[in-house]
Amino acid sequence: MLFVQCLNNAAVAYAATFVWKPERARMPLAPFAFTAAAYLGAMLCSNEALKHVSFPTQALGKSCKMIPVMIMGVLIRRKKYTLRDYICVLVITTGIAVFQLGKASAKHAERENSTYGLLLLFSSLTLDGISGPKQEEIAHQLRPSVHQQMLNTNVWAVVYTGVGALVTGQALEGFFFCIENPAILNSVFYFSVCSALGQNFIYFTIQQFSALTCTTITTTRKFFTILFSVVWYGHELSLMSWLGVAVVFLGLGWELSSKYQKYQAQNAKLT
């Protein structure tokens, strides 16, 4: 499934380069090998970790992705953040963690954390922290277009997942499963299309804004999806989850006001 997703992402990005012509016709492929490995590794470690840790630990792990991205941004990109930036990230992270923990139930609490699961979760967060800033670094140094960066990253991802699927035997298993269940191909197609569209926005955000901004969006998107389901479908949330909602909006509001003040200050200097 992951191989098909990456292959489709690469195909869409390649087609897009003919519609939106990049400034540089040729872009070296080698620099993208590491970022592709990092983002795939983060995804695989995260998925595997969910089988070996408790629900509260899962919630905390999903909530604090912005923190390693900020730390690695300082270490890799030598970025400088204000005290307000650090506080905003902590407030948003805390709010999402509280919101996620508010959804916990008795059955979620049954599973205990294993050392293996915690190591996987730590590895996932570390690789997430490396992947974003490294992609941002490539965007600034090589100046690829959005679709060139998406294409080259996914070409490596296709190689990695293809080799992995062949070595583990999952390629044949997946092929025969699709032969026996052809109806699933529609779902695979729609999922792959949505994945490709989503990646366009991810790489655009990294190039035009920053890896931290992108991580803030991807971390809070599930939060807003659940919140939308509450409003649209009338689903209920616990008091703890509503407290998390308030904290997240407080953090996001503070961050937006900070960016607006910086924007106003820049305009004042120009005039």
The Cα–Cα gap between 259 and 84 comes to 11
Q: How large a percentage of the chain has pLDDT more than 70?
A: 90
DSSP reduced 3-state for 17? helix
How far apart are alpha carbons 35 and 251 in whole angstroms? 29
pLDDT tens per residue across span 10-45: 999 999 998 888 877 788 889 999 999 998 998 888
Q: Provide the pLDDT for residue 253.
A: 81
Q: Which residue is it, tokens 């730590």?
A: 122
Residues 144 and 246: their CA atoms lie apart, in Å, by 39
Token digits for 233? Answer: 């479908």
CB contact at 8 A, 22 and 148: yes
Look at 147 and 236; give whichever has higher pLDDT. Answer: 147
- CA 9 from centre of chain: 15
Q: Is the pLDDT of residue 109 over 90?
A: no
The rounded distance, in Å, linking the Cα atoms of 133 and 148 is: 17
262: exposed, middle or buried (Cβ count in 10 Å: 0-12, 13-18, 19+):
exposed
Ranking 92-101, 147-156, 262-271 by mean pLDDT, the lowest is: 262-271
Q: What angle do CA 87, 76, 83 make, to 5 degrees?
A: 15
For 73, the token pair is 């941004």
Q: Do residues 14 and 129 touch, judged by C-beta distance below 8 A?
A: no
Backbone angles phi, psi at 4, to 5 degrees: -65, -40
DSSP state of 112: P
Contacts of 68 by beta carbon, 8 Å cutoff, 6+ apart: 125, 126, 128, 129
The enclosing H or E element of 25 equals none
**In this predicted structure, what is the pLDDT of residue 152?**
93
For 156-192, the pLDDT digits (tens) are: 999 999 998 898 888 888 888 888 888 888 888 888 8
Across the range 137-154, mean pLDDT stands at 91
Q: What sign has the CA pseudo-torsion 229, 230, 236, 242?
A: positive
Report yes or no: 109 and 55 within 8 Å, Cβ to Cβ: yes
Residue 220 near residue 252 (C-beta atoms within 8 A): yes
**Residues 6 or more apart from 80 whose CB is under 8 A from it?**
74
Give the tokens for residue 110.
Answer: 């049954």
∠ CA 257-258-262, rounded to 5°: 115
What are the sequence ranges of the domains in the chain? 2-270
